[in-house]
Amino acid sequence: MTDPLNTPVVRHSPSNGPTSPDVWGIYEPDTGSIQYICADPKTRKAALIDVVWNFDPKNYRFSTHSMDQVLDIVKENGLSVEWVLDTHPHADHVMASANLKQRTGAPNAIGALVPDIAAIWADLYNLPDAFEPTRDFDKLFAEGERFSIGDLEVEVMLSPGHTLGSVSYVCGDAAFVHDTLMQPDAGTSRSDFPGGDTEALWDSIQSILALPAETRLYIGHDYGTKERKEPMWEATVAEHKAQNIHVKDGTKREDYIERRQTRDATLSLPMRILAALQINLRGGRLPEPEDDGHHYLKVPANRFD
């Protein structure tokens, strides 16, 4: 029997009206990541959000089957890519941003505080001149900034906690909230990476849950639960407020913080983090090739518990 959590899954969530986008979620099973296409049903303009550049951590080889799948959906639905967006520099997968920019011609963007994240990791890697987000991203979006996907307006929300510079993209009744919430039956995301902060994550989640009750929230990851073996990634604000096991209505801030920190203390680093971040902080580019024509990554030893 096929295990849905080990199988790519695509679902379309249709527009609910003139200011509501079409959304496709594309589940990437190796990392439990959800990639998104957010499209204006009128103009057929679209943004690609948090798309994966597939990376095999055993052999350190890359492939493009996830971004190929996303672009096939774009073509099949007559869409035109207007933006390549990421919500933060991912720790568990390599971003496809630079590749997609080259393949689509669309500008790539991320949050305005990513240079602060880059400074933390430049120190951890001892690579003081490696990361320059203003070079590798066409736009660094600030809190409250607005832009368009076709005729649809998108607002940027700063949503720190998982990282210090994570952003959410709110487009009509759809919000792409990355590694803040999980599905209601799984709770919330971790906040223990360098620059992460549990109290900030609580505050970010409260801002997200203050959106209108019918807002569709699209999360960054799903790993299923003991009871649920099928990947899921969409729930409304109302559903989270009623059912989310970590932050539903009535949850006390101090109880959440204690629960989140206790859980995070048991978690290991993601398998791909030390490779992924030094690529993602270059906008999804590998380091420049050395004199033999090959690319090399640097791995810090004994820097993490």
Which residues, 6 or more positions from 119, have their beta carbon under 8 angstroms from its beta carbon?
A: none
pLDDT along the chain (305 residues), means of 10: 79 97 97 98 98 96 98 98 98 97 98 98 96 98 98 98 97 98 98 96 98 98 94 98 98 98 95 96 97 96 86
Please count the other Cβ atoms lying within 10 Å of the Cβ belonging to residue 7: 11
Domains, the chain, ordered by start? 4-274 (3.60.15.10)
pLDDT at 2: 59
| Helical segments of 143-215, H only | 198-209
pLDDT at 304: 85
| Residue (of 42, 12, 45) closest to 27 by Cα position | 12
Compute the Cα dihedral for 102, 127, 86, 272 and give only its sign: positive
pTM of the model: 0.96
Determine the number of helices (DSSP H) and then strands (DSSP E) in the chain: 8, 16
Strand intervals (E) in 86-142 = 94-95, 108-111, 139-141
Which residues, 6 or more positions from 226, have their beta carbon under 8 angstroms from its beta carbon?
A: none
DSSP 5: G
| Residue (of 204, 210, 208, 188) closest to 267 by Cα position | 188
Q: How far apart are CA 193 and CA 304, in angstroms?
A: 10
